[in-house]
Structure 1
Amino acid sequence: MTLETSIRVLRSACIGTTLYAIALIFGLFLPPFAAFNNFFADIAHLPMDGEQTIETPTERLFLAIFAGLMLGFAGFVWQITTHVFSKNPNLGAKIMIPAVLAWYIPDGIGSLIAGAWFNVVMNTFFLGLFLLPVILVHKPAQSARAA
């Protein structure tokens, strides 16, 4: 993967993550988006049975925190992509890979503990969006340096 393609994929992942987080925030105060939040909760706890909803003040608080962290994460990756990774892919990778894994591993373990195994599947999709473009550019740079 070229560096330019990698940057495009990372920025697209950031935009998608931002839109997703904004939809979650809107669901806290706009009824049509609340259905989206309930769908997300229900799919994370397969089977889809309508049992999981975001209704209590505590659930809404944690959803707001989660959405805010998603926005911050997308902003972090965008800034690192733009100001570091685009100029120095190796340094950008050294910053992004541990940061993405620091989200993925505890989120996945916590999801399993909460009985939301399908959230791990959904998170793995995001993991791929954020790690593959970095790794596919970072690895050739390492190989070229070794030669």
Structure 2
Amino acid sequence: MSQEFHKFWLKISAIVIASFGPVAFLATMPEYSEAARFSLDLLDWPLDGQQTYEGPTMHFMSALLGGFLFGWGVMIWCLSVWVHDLAPEGVRKSVLTGALAWFFLDSAGSYASGAWPNVLWNVLVLLMIVGPLWRPAKT
């Protein structure tokens, strides 16, 4: 892969990560929480309606999660635009390290909480985020 393709893929990574932010944010308001509730139900397969988005604590957690995810995605986009050309390998390693840190902690927490099917979804999301960033670009 070329540096230019890595730079393009960083934007894919940014969109994948940031897209989870608005879903979580909307769940802060009960009348707009169905997308987040359905997502949780899907991630903790099977679809059984057991996941809810009730209570102020869950709404607050969604506000935090939505902000962090959206901000993380925006940061990766900015790295691709403003920093990548100056330090392509540093940006690649930073995004890869951040994605792996998310993957391991999220997967461990999902497994520990009994929502082990989310670990399988995490593998898919990790592959979408990282794509060709696993390996250094050819110079």
> Any residues of structure 2 matched to 1:1-147 within 5 Å, and which?
1-29=1-29, 31=31, 33-136=32-135, 138=136, 140-141=138-139
How far, CA to CA, are the matches of 1:118 and 1:86 in structure 2?
A: 38
> Over alpha carbons, which structure has the higher Rg?
1
Equivalenced residue count is: 139
Q: Is the 8 A contact 2:13 2:76 kept in 1?
A: no
3-state SS of the aligned residue for 2:48? coil
Q: 1:85 to 1:121 in 2, by over 3 A?
A: farther
Higher helix share goes to which structure? Answer: 1
Shift of 1:17: 2.9
Q: CA RMSD in A?
A: 2.0
How far, CA to CA, are the matches of 1:94 and 1:50 in structure 2?
A: 39
TM-score between both structures, scaled by the size of structure 1 = 0.81
* Identity percentage of aligned residues: 25
Give CA deviations for 1:53-109 in whole Å, capped at 9, x if unaligned: 111111122122111111121122112222233443212123222222221111110
How far, CA to CA, are the matches of 1:95 and 1:22 in structure 2?
A: 24
3-state SS of the aligned residue for 2:46? coil
Give CA deviations for 1:3-48 in whole Å, capped at 9, x if unaligned: 22322232133124323311321232262x3111110111122211
TM-score between both structures, scaled by the size of structure 2 = 0.84
Q: What amino acid does structure 2 have at the position aligned with 1:111?
A: S
Q: 1:96 to 1:12 in 2, by over 3 A?
A: closer
